[in-house]
Chain A
Amino acid sequence: QKEVEQDPGPLSVPEGAIVSLNCTYSNSAFQYFMWYRQYSRKGPELLMYTYSSGNKEDGRFTAQVDKSSKYISLFIRDSQPSDSATYLCAITLQGGSEKLVFGKGTKLTVNP
C-alpha cells in the first residue's frame, strides 16, 4: 500500500463550481499536511499547511484533515479557470524525517 493515495483524475468542472480534492494516507504517525498547486512545467506552489484535525480556511480554499480516517481534503469555492492546475497533497512526520511524501496529484480543469 502506498503511503499517500490520491486520485489522479482528471477532474473537469464548470466555472463557479465547488471542487473537492482528496487524499488518503496509511501512516498514523504523519502529522503535517500540505496542499500544493502545480501549473504545467512549473514547480509546486504551497497553498495551505495544517497539522491538526479540522478545517483551515484561506480565501476560497479550505483544507480539512480527519486523522481518525487518515483522510485529507482541499475544497475550492467559486472555482476559476485560473485554478486549472495539478493539486498535490503532501504529508510529513513530526520530529522525524524531513521528507515530504506526495500524492500523485489530481489534474483539475475549470471550464469558463
Chain B
Amino acid sequence: DTGVSQDPRHKITKRGQNVTFRCDPISEHNRLYWYRQTLGQGPEFLTYFQNEAQLEKSRLLSDRFSAERPKGSFSTLEIQRTEQGDSAMYLCASSAQQGGTEAFFGQGTRLTVV
C-alpha cells in the first residue's frame, strides 16, 4: 500500500492523558498536513509541514497540541492533557503540489476521550 498511513486507527483515552498519533505520507510527497474532523463537519486545518519545517498553524492548534516531522518523513501529532472536546477524527494528508492541491488523505485516527 503506497497511500498515506496513519496509526493507530482508533484510540480511546481518559481525560487528562497524553496521546500521540503517527502519519507516514506518500514517500515522494514533501508536503504534509494535519486536519481534524468532527461528526457532521468537514475537515478543519490544523497544521502544515514542508519537509521538516512547520510553516503554518491554525488557531485551532492550542498549546496542548504539538506536531513534528523529523527529517521530513513521518509526522507525529501529540495532544497533551486531553479534553472531551478533543474527541474527533484526526486526518493526515500529503501532497507533492503547491497550495494544498491534490492532497491525499489517510484513513484517520479516531480519538475518543472518556
Contact = CB atoms under 8 A, between A and B. Distances in A.
Interface of A: 4, 6, 8, 31-32, 34, 36, 41-46, 49, 51, 88, 90, 92-105
Interface of B: 4, 6, 31, 33, 35, 40-45, 48, 50, 55-56, 58, 91, 98-108, 110
Given A43-B107, A98-B31, A98-B56, A93 B99 contact: yes
A41 B56 contact: no
A43 B108 contact: yes
B69 to A, nearest CB: 14
B108 A100 contact: no
A93 B6 CA distance: 27
B105 A92 contact: no
Given A43-B105, A102-B43, 20 more contacts: A4-B42, A32-B99, A32-B101, A36-B105, A41-B110, A43-B4, A43-B107, A46-B102, A46-B105, A88-B42, A90-B42, A92-B100, A97-B100, A98-B31, A98-B98, A98-B99, A98-B100, A100-B33, A100-B100, A102-B42
A98 to B, nearest CB: 4
Contacts of B4: 43
Contact of B58 (A42, A88, A99): A99
Contacts of B41: 104-105
Contact of B45 (A94, A95, A101): A101
